[in-house]
Amino acid sequence: MTVTYVLILIPFGLILLGWAIFSIVCIVKMLRFGFLSRQAVMSTFVYVAFVTVVILVGALNLRGVDWTTPYTFTVPGISLPSVQSNLPKTFSQ
Amino acid sequence: MNIQPTFPGMMPTERVVLMLHRHWIIGARIFIQYGLIAVVFIAAWVALRSFTTALTDPTSIAYALIVLALSTAFLIWGLFFFIAWLDFYLDTWIVSNERIINIRQKHLFDRVVSEQKLFRVQDVTSEIKGPFAGMFGFGNVIIQTAGEQEEFRFEQVPHPAKVAQTIMSLLESIEHQIGLDKVAKVEGDMGEVQTTQPSAPPPAGALPPKSKEL
């Protein structure tokens, strides 16, 4: 079976979607219920900066990957030597 | 410049006297825990670079998978760290010149807010339990009130004795302002009426603590 690398992005994409929803909830809660205090705003800023850095570094590292490269799943097999060629001559009359 | 702290639902005549969070050492514990987990991630990255050939070819599928997995792990780590910090930081206790507000954030989605008028406070106790708390000067302040929720607990707040002292001095100043002896007399009279007439409405000023979202 042949697929392209882009398929491996699907599970990671789903995880990231869930992560993004929780992140937005957290940021809204922190800003709303933290009464916009200095610590609440600073910690939100640090979180957003951290997330941006991780995503940028990840994207930069994945720049060289060609996502359209086909990948073939192969069934593992054992290639045995040909029995016919190794038979003693006395049997090959 | 000293900025007066405010909170939503604050009355025009109200003034925040204390806005308390847990002691910073409790927050530092979260930083240490998540710092150790981050060290594991970084060690995994270094080990993969040093001892395997998986990260030598930046076009291979193994490389793509490792980078994606590590990036996702870091993002989830960051999210859990932020949730732990939020859980720590949003536990807030506010003492104003009129009331006490107890805000408890339990995990991400549970939030309980209760408040009580300051003149209903009956007893304030501070406690420091354990050598660790004694060393860093944090503890609990337990406030007994006459309301439905009889006890308010300020947990792991810095300088609990000073907090208790401040609440007591506020209470004394309120007693002088409104004449609490009169309030107590009225409440006592109403209480007697209520015992003889069970269906009578609750006395004025005997409202239970409100629970609402600030």
Tens of pLDDT along A19-73? Answer: 999 999 999 999 988 888 888 999 999 999 999 999 999 999 888 888 777 777 7
CA dihedral B45→B51→B52→B58, nearest 10 degrees, is 50
- Kindly state whether residue A87 falls inside one of the protein's structural domains: no
A6 is a domain residue: yes
Task: Output the six-digit token pair for A3.
Answer: 């697929």
CB B5 within 8 A of CB A34: no
- Whether A29 and B89 lie within 8 Å, measured CB to CB: no
Cα B131 to Cα A27: distance, rounded to the nearest angstrom: 36
Chain A residues with beta carbon closer than 8 angstroms to that of B10: none
Residues of A in contact with B113 (CB under 8 A): none
Give CA torsion, residues A76, A78, A79, A80, to 10 deg. Answer: -170
Q: How far is B29 from chain A (nearest CA, A)?
A: 16
Angle at CA of residue B169, ends B168 and B171, nearest 5°: 65
Interatomic CA distance for residues B127 and B168, integer angstroms: 15
Cα(A5)–Cα(A22) distance, integer angstroms: 27
Measure the CA–CA gap between A22 and B122, rounded to whole angstroms: 42
Give a yes or no: residue A56 inside a domain: yes
Q: How far apart are CA A57 and CA B162, in angstroms?
A: 48
Residue A62: list chain B partners with CB under 8 A.
64, 67-68
Report pLDDT for B213.
Answer: 47
pLDDT bin (cut points 50, 70, 90) of residue A92 is low
Mean pLDDT across B45-65? 81
Instruction: Name the residue of chain A whose CA is nearest to B6's CA.
Output: A35
The answer to whether the CB atoms of A51 and B75 lie below 8 A apart is yes
**Angle at CA B4, nearest 5°, toward B146 and B158?**
60
Per-residue pLDDT band for B179 (boundaries 50, 70, 90) equals low
What are A40's two structure tokens? 């609440």
Q: What is the phi/psi pair of residue A2, to 5°?
A: -110, 130
Q: Supply B183's token pair.
A: 């309030």
Evaluate whether residue A83 is within a structural domain. no
Number of domains in chain A: 1
Least reliable range by pLDDT among A43-47, B83-87, B105-109 = B105-109
The mean per-residue pLDDT over the stretch B175-200 comes to 52
Cβ separation B59–A66 shorter than 8 A: yes
Which residues of B are less than 8 Å from A10 in CB distance?
none
* Residue A41: inside a domain: yes
A43 interaction partners in chain B (CB closer than 8 Å): 82, 85, 89
Q: Which residue has the tokens 């925040």?
A: B16
Tell me what percent of the residues of chain B surpass a pLDDT of 90. Answer: 34
In whole angstroms, give the CA distance from residue B64 to residue B58: 7
Domain that holds residue A50: 2-65
B71/A30 CB distance under 8 A: no
CB-nearest to B79 from A23, A39, A40 is A23
Q: Give the closest of A23, A54, A71 to B74, CB-based.
A: A54
